[in-house]
Amino acid sequence: MPKRRQTRADGRPRSGGQRPRGTSSGRPGGPGGRPAPAGRPAVAGRPGTEGASETRRAVERFSARPLVFLTQLPRWALLAVVLGLLISGFAVPGPIGAVLLVLVGILLGWLAYLSWPSLNATGRSGRIVALVCMVIIVVWQARR
């Protein structure tokens, strides 16, 4: 079967089927042809939430490394750890089970705090309901 010739948009053939040097993807929009992430302006200065308090900036700076670590893990790994803590927390009665559930609550609260500025009212109320439910479950488990 003969090899198809690659052509440009104007119909002229490409030389050797290779991209011109100096462009990574041949697409406009930024380095490597990737557009800027939607919803977040590209800030050349400090990363983080604009107009945030010093406490929030400190938490965001502290959270940067753990978040990078979590994004490098396989997607199933964090899910497996959280499910393991939840199942163990429900299976073990008393304060030990409550401590395991508190760990899940801390992770949930930390992620809710970091995502808070980018959420709408529905997302915020969902985070609050989830945290209140975790507190109720932890108290119930500690008294069991």
From first to last of its 144 residues, the chain has per-residue pLDDT tens of: 555 656 666 666 665 555 555 544 444 444 444 444 454 444 445 566 777 788 888 888 898 999 999 999 999 999 999 999 999 999 999 999 999 999 999 999 999 999 898 899 999 999 999 999 999 999 999 998
Neighbours of 21 (CB within 10 A): 5
35 by DSSP, 3-state: which? coil
pLDDT of residue 144: 83
Backbone angles phi, psi at 32, to 5 degrees: 70, 10
Cross-strand bridge partners of residue 13: 7
For 47, half-sphere exposure in the C-beta direction (CA atoms, 13 angstrom radius) is 6
Q: Is the dihedral of CA 15, 17, 22, 25 positive or negative?
A: positive
